[in-house]
A and B are shown apart, each in its own frame.
Chain A
Amino acid sequence: MADTVATMIDAGFFAALLRIATPLLLATMGELIAERSGVLNLGIEGTMLLGAMTGFTAAYFTGNLWLGVAAAIATGAVVGLLMALLTVVLGVSQHVSGIGTTLLTTGLAFFFYRMIFGQPAIPPSVTAFQPLPLGPLASLPFLGPVLFQQTAFTYLALLAVPATWWALHRTRWGLNLRTVGENPRAADTAGVSVWSMRIQALVISGAFMGLGGAYLTIAQFNAFTFGVISGRGWVCIALVVFGQWMPWRCAGGVLLFAMIEALQLRLQAHNVLNVPYEIFLMLPFVMTIVAMALVSRNAHAPAALLIPFRKEER
C-alpha cells in the first residue's frame, strides 16, 4: 500500500491540495482578521453560502465571472456589516449573533436561489474560471503545474496570506486592530476608535468569506447546490484556533488540512481502503477537534475576544 500512496503523490496531488485549500485560506484569513479585532465571526458558514449563491447568480446572469466575484465580495461585506451592527454597535452576544447570522444568511441563500431559479430538472450552471497559466513559470517542472497553472482565485488566496500578515503585523492599522482585540481600553485611551476598527475588521472578514464561498460555485464547481459549503466555515473557525491566531500558522493549518483531504480523495478514487465514504467526510471534523484539543493548552486567544466594548462602562 505504501507504494500505491507514493505513486499518488505527484504534481497533480499538490495542485489538487491547493484547489481544496483555496476557499479555506480565504475564509480563514477573514475569520482571523475578525478574531484579532476581538469578534468571533460565527456567521462564517452562512456568509460563505450566501457569497456562493450571489457570486454564482451574478456570474450566471451577466456572463461575467468577475462580476460574480464582485457580487460575492459585496455580499460578504454587507453580512459583515450586519455582524458589526449586532456585536459591535449593539454589543449582543457574539455566539448568538453569529448563529443568528448564519441561520439568516442560509435561509436567504435558499430562498433567493429557489425564487430566482425555481426547481429545474438540470441545475443551472456557468462556465467556471479556467486555469490561468502564469507565463514561463507555468512550464517549470513540478512547480509549474502545482503553483502556476491554477485559477485566478487560487493566486488570490495564496496572496491573501502574506497580505493579511503584512496588514496585521507590519502596518499601523494592523497594530491598532490587534490592540483593539487585546486591550480595547488602552486602544481607546490612545485615541483609536474600537468600534471603527472592529466594524472594518468584520466587513473585511465578511468579504473574504463571501469570496471563499464563491470560489466553490464559479471556479472549483460551476453550479450552486444547497450543501456546497457543508461545514467548511466551521472548519475555518477551528483552523484559526489551531493556527494560534497567526496568519502563517493558520495558513499552515489550512495546507495540512487540505493535504489530508486531498490524500483521502486519492485513496478513495484508487479504492485503496475499503471504508465507507462517510468516514472520509467525517474525518476532517474529527481531525479538527483533535487538533484543537492538542493546541488548547498553550492557546492564547485575543484577550478581548467575545467581550463587547462600551466607552461609558468601566
Chain B
Amino acid sequence: MVLAPHQVSPLVDPSGAASAGGAPTASDGREVDGWLAGAAAQGDEGAFEQLVRRHTPALYAGALRVTGSPDMAQDVVQEAWLSVWLGLPGFRGHSAVRTWLVRIVTTKALNSLRRPHRTVPLEAVPEPVTAGTEREAELRERAAAVRAAIAQLPVRQREAVVLRDLQGLSYDEVASALGCSVASVKSALFRGRQTLAVELEQHRPGDMPGAHRQQGSHP
C-alpha cells in the first residue's frame, strides 16, 4: 500500500516515531522523511518545517564538528536548508533524505573552512593563558590544525573522512552519498586517514600525542 503525500498524517511525530505505537525504527524515520520531502517538494512549507525540526539538531552538531565554530555552523545549517528547499524538486531519492541532508551540510561546512573569513570567530581569538585554560587552548589549537589538514585532503578522501568519521554515516550511507561502492569508500577513507596523519606529523611534529608516542617506538 502506498500513500500519497496528502494522506500522510499531519500529526507525524517529529522524532520519527511511528504513529501506530511501538518504538520508532530507522525505516519509520526514512519513510516519514520521504513523504515529508515529497510534500515539501510540492511547496508544502509545513512539511518542510517538520523536516527542518527533525534534522536540524543533528545537522548543526555535524556542522559544528566540521567547522569548530558555532557561528559558522549556524550559517552552514541555514545555507544548507535553503539549498535543500530550492533543490527538493530535483531530489530523486537515490539516497535517503537524511544522507542527502548530511552531504549538503558537509559540503557547505567544508567550503566554509576553505573560504577566507572576513571576521574571526570569537573562539578563534586567543584567550589569555592561565593554568586552567592552557590545556583547552592547546586542544583548540590542535583541533584547528586537524580541520585545516582535513580541508586540504583530496576531495574524495575528504568526503569519506568527514562523512564517516565526523558525521557518523554508515559505510552504506557514505557509498550512497558519494555514488560509489563500499569498497571504494573504505579505500578513500584509508588514504584520507593516512594522508591526514602524514600532514599532521609533517607540519606539527609531536603535536598529536599518539603520533609522538608511537613514532618513538618504531624505527
A, B from the same assembly = no
- B residues with CB within 8 A of A: none
- A residues with CB within 8 A of B: none
